[in-house]
A and B are shown apart, each in its own frame.
Chain A
Amino acid sequence: ETGVTQTPRHLVMGMTNKKSLKCEQHLGHNAMYWYKQSAKKPLELMFVYNFKEQTENNSVPSRFSPECPNSSHLFLHLHTLQPEDSALYLCASSQPKRLVEQFFGPGTRLTVL
């Protein structure tokens, strides 16, 4: 039990679809993260939220739109994706301070056709 849940676990979508990924943490954390994990590539940090405010956007294309309505929930809205966006999308949370570990969800396996 990691305390971080993600839904859906698997998603197949066409390039013209709009979908959303959801992340929820039950750990009382105030920092949340989205990562992209592609085959044969390093883990890529996409977005960081501290206390519901976005503090990092690592040059992510605008077809990915994050939303953090409160400290427990994080969404990633997807629209007009490309096949190269197919990957495992991981959510994580932590205390909003330095030198601490992050706790990860199981990920959403996204396939873009």
Chain B
Amino acid sequence: GDSVTQMEGPVTLSEEAFLTINCTYTATGYPSLFWYVQYPGEGLQLLLKATKADDKGSNKGFEATYRKETTSFHLEKGSVQVSDSAVYFCALSGVGGTSYGKLTFGQGTILTVHP
């Protein structure tokens, strides 16, 4: 079945540092890939997405590129802010299964940014 693996956290950075959160996946065919963010006390918000190979999703300074050859979708940001402190989830929507619209999530990575 489909699966998503994220780098273990927590990740702790200083403000303006470079961020990378690794995500790799296993799926048949060509899934769509997503990054979600969860701020403290809130639900998940879609941060960015990519629907085909070599697509780059971007939003709020975050970027991720759909790499079919390495089955990866790593999240990057050039300069993090304290307000980026949150939990980040990598997810995919595949072509198999019986339920339409179902997502497979990674375990989440906690990011803490210090001033």
Contacts and interface: CB of A to CB of B under 8 A. Distances in A.
Nearest to A45: B102
Contacts of A92: 44
Interface in A72-101: 90, 92, 94-101
Contact of A107 (B42, B46, B98): B42
Contact of B32 (A31, A33, A50, A100): A100
Nearest to A95: B101
Contacts of B70: none
B32 A101 contact: yes
Which one of B31, B42, B45, B49 has the greatest number of beta carbons of chain A within 10 Å? B42
A50 B46 contact: no
Interface of A: 2, 4, 6, 31, 33, 42-43, 45, 48, 50, 55-56, 90, 92, 94-107
Given A4-B43, A31-B101, A43-B108, 12 more contacts: A33-B102, A42-B107, A42-B108, A45-B102, A50-B101, A96-B101, A97-B101, A98-B94, A99-B31, A100-B101, A101-B46, A106-B42
Interface of B: 31-32, 34, 36, 42-46, 49, 51, 89, 93-95, 98-103, 105-108
